[in-house]
Structure 1
Amino acid sequence: KNPENISVQDKTCLCTQFRKFKIWTCGHYVYRLKDTTHKLENGKYQLLSAEEVFQDYQFSKDHAIKLPEKIQSAPSETSLATA
């Protein structure tokens, strides 16, 4: 089998589609993840659900980012580390 010709017969994940069209989501542009969320009062970033990230990817137009509703920071909540 040729590794350049990947074929998925029944289900196709987003990663497969990205690879097919040579679109890479990490690396140079990973810093832009901070643009898709809110920096909280405690200096951490609000952690988004996979659904929020995917819907932003799915429905964004003209490079606009649909920010999620901002949550109030709490000491016990899970959020991204400070940068």
Structure 2
Amino acid sequence: MQFGFVIYLLLNPPGLLSLTELFVLSLINVIVSLKFLEFVSYSKILFVNMKFMYFINHIQKYEISIFYANNIDSGNKKKLNKE
């Protein structure tokens, strides 16, 4: 939350701040903090969604391989029964 205040101190050496300067700095702090939190939350949500999609993709591949294995087994059984 001290982002704007640090910039102000870098530009102007320490001194008394007027009320308008304090208001502007607090406004900058709020805007920067909200944007940062918004970015962090979006990236976290995106990362969790990517991990979830990877997990679902893994499960689907596993189910498909079981399906093919069962079909191959049933096909072999049918051939054996015909002979």
Whether these two folds match at TM > 0.5 is: no
- Bucket of the pairwise TM-score, normalised by the shorter protein: under 0.3
- Higher helix proportion, which one? 2
TM-score by length of 2: 0.22
Higher normalized strand content (fraction of residues):
1
With structure 1 as the length reference, what TM-score do the two structures score? 0.22
CA radius of gyration, larger in: 2
